[in-house]
Structure 1
Amino acid sequence: MTVAEVRPYLDQVEERLHDAVAAYPGLVERLGRAALDAGGKRTRPLLIHLVTDERERALRCSVAIELIHTATLVHDDLIDRAPLRRGRPTAWRTDGDEAARATGDYLFARGFAELADAGDLDGVRILADACLALVRGEALQRRQRNRPDTTIDAYLERIALKTGKLFEAACLLGSRDPGLGYFGLNLGIAFQIADDVLDCSGDTLETGKIAGTDLREGTPTLPLLLAAQEDDTVRAALAGGPVAGVLLRVAATGALERSLEIAHGYARQARESIDGAVHRDELEGLANAVVERRR
């Protein structure tokens, strides 16, 4: 399946996303639309498309999960006080905390409404379970902040909850097949590790985010934890100390390369779990692409 073949589907997802947000005009509709217009890779809708041939269900579930995902980003930016998302000012930065909080809530509600209006109670359950995992993951992140002694296993548990479970939900929503859900979970973990590497090494113009955000916020990611095991300056910075020049020290430890090796391991587990999927080759290609991306 080529980009040209999947583009009409993703264009239809975009149209329906904006229709869903436009249901109740006003402040939250405007900010919700701005959050959607900031773009994104739309990886989860693509996953849903690749695991089912039922187009209407794929569209409905894609809109639902992308609204939920966007809601989490609006709330994350508020909690983290992030001024930019994909190179654009965030909702709290332009309109304040209360407006951002309400916008995230609105997007959550509209996402679940997409499934509820179609009577898809199983889909509601799948997405609700994923949202519960997201909350648990966020709580773990708060607990681990400025903790360079966070174990690798604890980090992996956190990203499985915060990222992996929503990828799993995408595959389950599209296929209702637990085997493909396992593919999505491993894919999501690989995706997040690669994202954390980019935070240490990516260019702001490419990623749309300011490099070193995790270090400044004290969020213990895999490359930072691996580097902190070898470099006391990195360890001190992750604990809340000075961060100037620390990303160069992280790179010097080889932590970025080791992190990507682990990400490739999860991508490999994802590929090996595919059995009888509608678009097996495309799913395998996606598993490679999430690790090798540059933004």
Structure 2
Amino acid sequence: MKTVKIVGVPEHFNLPWHLTIEEGAFEDRGIHLEWTDVPEGTGKMCQLLQDGETDLAIILTEGLVKSISQGNPSKIVQEYISSPLLWGIHVANNSERTSIATLEKDKIAISRMGSGSHLMAYLHAQDQGWNTDTLQFEIIDNLEGAVKNLSEGSGAYFMWEHFTTKPLVDKGLFKRLGDCPTPWPCFVIAATNAFLKSNGELLKHILEVINTYTIEFKQIPSIDSTLANRYRQQLEDIQDWLSRTTWGQNQMALKTLDEVQNRLISLQLIDEVKSSKVFLYSRV
């Protein structure tokens, strides 16, 4: 039995991985897939890949592209979620702010530098026509830290996946002022170069298993109820999320990679467009 370490956020997107593990689909192929939740998100997972503390990660596209561009010895193996991520834009529930326009000069609560909440704040500000050179950030580690930060009067705003934060909005902890979708497929499967160097066949088996599950995921009987129960979501919210979400089974398109790099360059978050060979793993 070969142990493979994998990390991802503790969110509904990753239920296919948990189902495959629980049903023994990887063990049937001689693989012990050791999953670890990383509530801190993409910035933390980039560090884990960089340090060789995980073999694989289910990670946000823009965060990984930035990290690889800056030297992270990892590759994109394939897309995982091929639809955009819907980022909710939140303030404390008792805040007097009622529109996105009122946030221009405010600090932004982020999990860490290089995270999705960090990079999407830049993209959103650019979309709004704001000066991205003047953005200020407060590090809050995770969603729990964001609740504490905003509720204690920081005055910051916070961007996080719309459906994950929906229960907090419903409870009156956050007020959502709007949403900002990613302009590209949102999650990819990443692997360290060290893992890829000697585990090509092993990776092939892992991808065959997860891709079989994701192709059929929406057809699982009562999968909406299962998701709602496991992730403490309202059934109608999960149904809305499922209707928007598509799982991918193929490598990222070169056009998409160029789009991500060019956008990050426009924000001065990376220095240059690099070859696709730097970023994309070839299964051939």
- TMscore range, shorter length: under 0.3
> Structure 1 or 2: larger helix share?
1
Higher RCO structure (Cα 8 Å, ≥6 apart): 2
> Structure 1 or 2: larger strand share?
2
TM-score, normalised with respect to structure 2 = 0.26
